[in-house]
Structure 1
């Protein structure tokens, strides 16, 4: 009887799903990818004047009297050359276009003009022109429309012989150079940016059946399992992760997924000390704990991005689950929650995730158990700010700031004005250096910790008192006030409970500031009700992206695909999921996307590389990608990077900055990251490991011997700079409101 009932329920669910899909398809809501008309889109035009957005007959460029002066408005020769060559391109590419392609070619024309308008409006155009160095490859086949104006203005960088070969004529003038570059750039835009968006392709292999509108359905194997999701929720210092790890230890096959490499390493080291066999798996480091027969351990500690969603586990632990709302990395937590193939999935984090997780579990059909914990210790926001500024500091204090300039400035000032030794932690420090600094603070060798919000996760610190220097931080675009979640996460690090403590040893943590206004904000944040998460950030797997690319014309750049998917997912009416921010991924793609010898799937993989936005790092990554494109085998020392500065003599030489060594460290770790994915191309790990240790040593020693702030080019900051920063923030937001 039970079997018949199950079969009937399964059949009814199938019918309901069928009718639901048909209904939503008509309403154009969730099933946005079932009809391939979603591919037919118009290119975005952001710089062209509104009155010209539908005029494919416009030739010259118009600027109102409020627009800044530019080379087009001040250089009559350039203006005349550009107008005449654009007229020629229009006549030959747009007016004489094939029947049925007028719209496509017209949009390519408008997109070319949009690129030129954007560059002419750029206030730093002259600097870009001066710094631009055109390669011969870009001269022959331009593929960067965003550089077309500097390229036009630097056409004479190559001699007439080169141009005669390119143009296949002995009559070379500036005009026919302009015509050639603009025609080639137009063709690139037409073929690579317009057609892939606007041309609907036919079914060939069933790929049109790809539906990515419902992330729950991306992981079919996980949906076949009856999983048990066990939530461990509570404030910082409530022991939630500790309890989840006890379950992991008893599993035959399990995975700990942490937010940071150093946290994954900490769990790995802890298990090893306790005699629990465990592997380590991060983007840059893989360690197999092998037995005498060569079999790896059943447990693995790693970063959340590395969770193997194609393997079966008994237990998976997802730490800091509230990170699923992070617009940059949140997709990794969301995908792991939806796709982990485990009988038990233990998720640890803040209570703010509870309603969202409940709604997601309703969709997946899994069983949910919620364990809520209280803080192991007391926490108090003090009534008064520090009365004597830095003179009021005491051993065990942690001062929080939000930029490395400010952090290093605080270190120098505190050590100058007091007898206290100061350790520092900020995001771009190597994880090993952060661990060293934390150890010096925890053991009492250093008295004070000055840190960014990097202390909010991943490090055990014996902090008695957290001191906020400000209540605003820069989010990459503007100054924003700290959220109550930020304040609770950071402030909760005070009075950390130590395992083995008895009841009377329960610690008391304190929170205060230097500024009464900041103290008011911090108090409100600590007392504020929980801000519940509303959505989880998602992004399709590379396999799904690979299926969708078959809908596009061959040779479509990955960036075009990603933007197209993003545009459609933004219109998804399902409120539980939010689109991932593609800014970082597209910035990385721009480094190597033009390299034709790198496959589409390799480009998707490389777009996830941890590339810091520093000139030396981006240049190094471009060289690494060139190695992949050419299929070469190279050791790290074969590249022309300035590793000669990894010398003890450079430690006291202030012309070799911390930023240089942070860049070199990132380059070395990129080499390890690539070596794990392309082991036949990137070899000689021994040399890379030695360079990494030297780099970590020099960064540590430079911090220890710091005499002046290498990031403070405008003079030193005082305590009053915090008040000025906050005043600017308040003034900006007052103006916005008015």
Structure 2
């Protein structure tokens, strides 16, 4: 068989209360290849057989088989398996494999069965340890408070955020939760303009990368992920509530709705979030008021597309969907003689705000930006000009969703400045697509499947019942094994966190430290940032603090892209510093370097704009 001539020895083992027959090939049981065997005469064949199947060979094989039966029977008993379901193979397996190889195959089958059983046991224990139906109960302060929800829903420029902020400022205490650092910063400053009892409000700013803590603060402006669920307040404002549906960050809004420790919680955002809000309010047993607000200034499509750069005019916002495209359009617009402010996602909040301020103050005629202008920047835009309706979604180029088209377009026509907002495509195709998208009826958010991200407490709970220390495996168990009775709440982790966890598991770090590192807000797609993140993780694994150095001149030698990335790196260091101050102690220096980098970026953008102005001085008279 199988290209071999071999002998098989039959026998029977009685052990552990079992009778186990076997037919096995001994260690020297393979005699020859068929071609060689055919050439041997009868006497040579007989001699070889007598040599290989003597008493010693039979005895040794029997001893091997007996020891193996004892081994498998004991292991099977430990895991409550039927030993014969594995040992019957000793008599049934028709193969030329030698006994040791057959034993290894059976051991492998038993190992797989043990792994399956262990996995099933751990899965069951994980399921018993976390029941997502009980997720709202994990927010103890919110659960004890008599909470009510007020939904302020409407399109951009409907005054919904203004109304919520006014209610927040009048309350004795409160918190504003923003989707972006920029929005948290803007509303932090806005709240400081209000007075209570003749004194300015005492307001703190809390984001992942920055803390401005006011003495005796009654109000806090915060990014949504930084929600303090333990300190009760009178009013909470959760902005951009439609972000509940966001693939990567929706879990932060789920946590905010379930855990905001306020007697009155304002849910501010787009009308398509209404059904989702109603479902959450019912599940949380909180009374709900819904107010639908209308846009204060009408929004209209231009009759025709813009077609030529020279047809752009003061007050326009030109929208592209990548940094490269924004800078290209910036150059084209300045070549046409218009001054420009530039806004895109890679810029820090400080730079975005400085650029927007120039547009607001009339120092720039046109703003050229990405959809970053759609959230958190209030600018006197009279017309939105779309250079394209296609955006890269992280996987492929696709037409932007109607909700995003509407949010971008809604930035045109600031109430009190313009009578109406206008929208146009630069080319005819984009113009027609935008016309269709703005007419499209938006689908409501789902009323179940609200994202829940794992907390460190969740992972420790899973680790305690499974003895697992791998972050990747703990995250996997959270996604696949916890109890999700009706799917109302659903476990979610990001792809970035998964891939980071696998790398972090190669380092001698605690689950808590690996979890913290997996959440650092830097892009793994930017090589310099990825290398910095890996360096921080390696240093932490060696219990070695990472220090920063102040270099006043280094930034002046970097390209625009490099300074932007440096700004993000310093912000990420500060983020880690607030969580692991012993190992990332230079928080203040990181913030100072981030500020310098932001100023350098703003300066470079202004210089690049000035270059085009110098080329065409007559156009600027």
TM superposition score category, shorter chain reference: 0.7 to 0.9
User: Whose strand proportion is higher, 1 or 2?
Assistant: 2
Matched, 1:646 2:564: no
Distance verdict in 2 for CA 1:708–1:438, change over 3 Å: closer
Q: Could you tell me how far apart the structure 1 residues matched to 2:459 and 2:341 are?
A: 45
SS in 1 for 2:379: coil
Check if 1:381 corresponds to 2:301: yes
Query: How does the TM-score come out when normalised to structure 2?
Result: 0.76
Number of positions where the alignment pairs a residue of Structure 1 with one of Structure 2: 507
Q: Deviations over 1:606-646 (max 9, x none)?
A: 222102121111111122223333333442129xxxx6863
The structure 1 residue matched to 2:367, chosen from 449, 454, 457, is 449
Structure 2 matches for 1:350-389, cutoff 5 A?
350-387=270-307, 389=308
Kept in 2: contact 1:379–1:495 (CA 8 A):
yes
1:202–1:436: structure 2 CA closer, same or farther, 3 Å change rule? Answer: closer
C-alpha separation in 2, matches of 1:491 and 1:645 = 41
Are the counterparts in 2 of residues 464 and 496 from structure 1 also a CA contact under 8 Å?
yes
The residue aligned with 1:664 is 566
**Pairs within 5 Å for 1:102-501:** 102-103=112-113, 197=119, 200=122, 208-213=128-133, 215-274=135-194, 275-290=200-215, 296-387=216-307, 389-416=308-335, 418-497=336-415, 501=416
My pick for the range that moved more, 520-529 or 397-406, is 520-529
Segment drifting more, 526-535 vs 275-284? 526-535
Change (3 A) 1:686 1:576: closer
Cα 1:451/1:201, change in 2 over 3 Å? closer
Shift of 1:351: 0.5
Partner of 1:706: 608
Q: Structure 1's 604 and 492: CA in aligned 2 closer, same or farther, altered over 3 A?
A: same
Aligned match for 2:584, one of 656, 679, 682: 682
**Contact preservation (8 Å) 2:536, 2:546:** no
CA distance in 2, matches of 1:422, 1:209: 56
Give the structure 1 partner of residue 497 of structure 2.
Answer: 585
Alpha carbon RMSD of aligned pairs, Å? 2.9
SS in 2 for 1:550: helix
Shift of 1:424: 1.1
How many Å apart are 1:202 and its aligned residue? 9.2
- Structure 1: runs of 5 or more not aligned: 1-56, 58-86, 106-193, 291-295, 651-655, 710-738
Distance 1:415 1:94, change over 3 A: farther
Deviation digits for residues 567-594 of structure 1 (CA, Å, limit 9, x no counterpart): 347x957454454352021233344332
Shift of 1:307: 0.4
- Quote the Cα distance in structure 1 between the aligned partners of 2:170 and 2:244: 27
CA contact (8 A) 2:468 2:474 kept: no
Q: Is the contact made by 2:546 and 2:584 (CA closer than 8 Å) also made in structure 1?
A: yes
Three-state SS of the structure 2 residue aligned to 1:682 is coil
Q: Secondary structure at the match of 1:255?
A: strand
- Check conservation: 1:484, 1:531, Cα contact below 8 A: no
1:684 and 1:568 mapped to 2: Cα distance? Answer: 40
3-state secondary structure, aligned to 1:699:
helix
Written as runs of structure 1 = structure 2, the 5 A alignment for 1:513-528 is 513-528=425-440
Query: Helix, strand or coil: the match of 1:97?
Result: helix
* Structure exhibiting the larger radius of gyration computed from Cα positions: 2
Q: Hey, what does 2:4 align to over in structure 1?
A: none
Distance 1:252 1:546, change over 3 A: farther
Report if the CA contact (8 A) 1:324-1:330 is conserved: yes
In structure 2, stretches of 5+ residues that fail to align are 1-92, 195-199, 612-621
Could you tell me how far apart the structure 2 residues matched to 1:451 and 1:376 are?
24
TM-score between the two structures when normalised by the length of structure 1? 0.64
Distance apart, 1:564 and its partner CA: 2.4
Q: Which residue of 2 aligns with 1:549?
A: 463
Whether contact under 8 Å (2:389, 2:399) holds in the other structure is yes
SS at 1:705's partner residue? helix
**For the residues of structure 2 that align with 1:394 and 1:455, how far apart are their CA atoms?**
18
Aligned to 1:602: 513
Q: Residues 195 and 695 of structure 1: is their aligned pair in 2 closer, same or farther, counting only changes over 3 Å?
A: farther
